[in-house]
Amino acid sequence: MEFQSQSRAKILVYVILGFAAFFILYPLVLMLLNSLKTNFEIFLNPIGLPENPNWGVFAKVWAAANLGRAIFNSLLISLGTVLSVCTVTSMAAWVVARRSVPGWFLISLYFLVTTTIPIQMYIFPLYFVMGWLGLINQPLAVIYIYTAIFTPFALFLLRTYIVEIPVELEEAARIDGASESQIFFRVILPLIKPGLITVALITGLSAWNEFLIAVTFLQTGEAATATARFYQLIGRFSSNWPEQMAIAAIIAVPVVVFFVILQRRFIEGVSSGAVKG
């Protein structure tokens, strides 16, 4: 009786997960299928299979839309943001976890409040500041803004990891003659590796998919990211749905594949942080 109950529960879980997977993957599969059709096929049967798949559409839009440059820009900005966020927040989290920082409550409150303010509220002052610094159409401006946006979450997450590390490990390293930098790089960093991977994944994917800041601060075609480039091409390819779907697939599929490969690390990092917090 107990075995039957467990089997029914397991079947129910698989059914729920199957529905969830279907609703998550269906838009992506539909986008790929429609990119291989003609305009007439899409209007006639948007959810059906293509009669004669046109695989050449991907090579065509890759060259016509200059997607190689846009994807390179997105990759550069995402990696730069990940490196900046992980470096700054890991060091800052170690300090706030181990030292008595004056005004830490107010600082943390400030971080929490700023994360709730819509980005539209401060995008115009930021634009004037970046224009005054000569950073419009420069990836550095976007990396700087992304770093500021993603820092609060990363700081709080990494702090929960460091708080749980026994202080005795650091004291033993100091007794052995290790400097503060050696303690950080050889003791702290290896122990918070799951948290760093989680921060890197969330930050990288968010920076890759971000649109408003990218389209505001990177206005030229050569500096545009993949998402901004797609927005710029909507008018050009507005009457050609297969080419629009192909461009969207080229931009979206690598990110989905990357996340699927590292999703176990992501879940482990988030669950570990939740338990420790």
Residue 49 DSSP one-character state = P
The residues spanned by each domain of the chain are 1-44, 57-275
**Is 222 in contact with 136 (CB distance < 8 Å)?**
no
Q: What is the pLDDT of residue 273?
A: 57
Here the tokens at position 98 are 């181990």
Which has the higher per-residue pLDDT, 253 or 163? 163
Q: What is the pLDDT of residue 258?
A: 77
| Whole-structure pTM value | 0.82
Local confidence band at 2 (pLDDT 50, 70, 90 cut-offs): low
Phi, psi for 219 (deg, rounded to 5): -95, -25
Phi, psi for 234 (deg, rounded to 5): -60, -45
Token pair 């798949």 in the structure block, residue: 53
Which distant-in-sequence residues (6+ apart) come within 8 Å of 173 by Cβ? Answer: 182, 183, 186, 187
Tens-digit pLDDT profile for residues 223-263: 888 888 888 777 665 678 888 888 888 888 778 887 777 77
Which has the higher per-residue pLDDT, 136 or 9? 136
Q: What is the pLDDT of residue 144?
A: 92
In CATH, the number for domain 57-275 is 1.10.3720.10
What's the chain's average pLDDT?
A: 84
Q: What is the pLDDT of residue 35?
A: 87
Q: What is the pLDDT of residue 80?
A: 95
Q: Alpha helix locations (H) across the chain?
A: 2-35, 39-44, 56-64, 67-98, 104-116, 123-132, 139-163, 167-175, 180-183, 189-191, 193-209, 212-217, 226-233, 241-276
Pairwise CA distance, residues 81 & 91, whole Å: 16
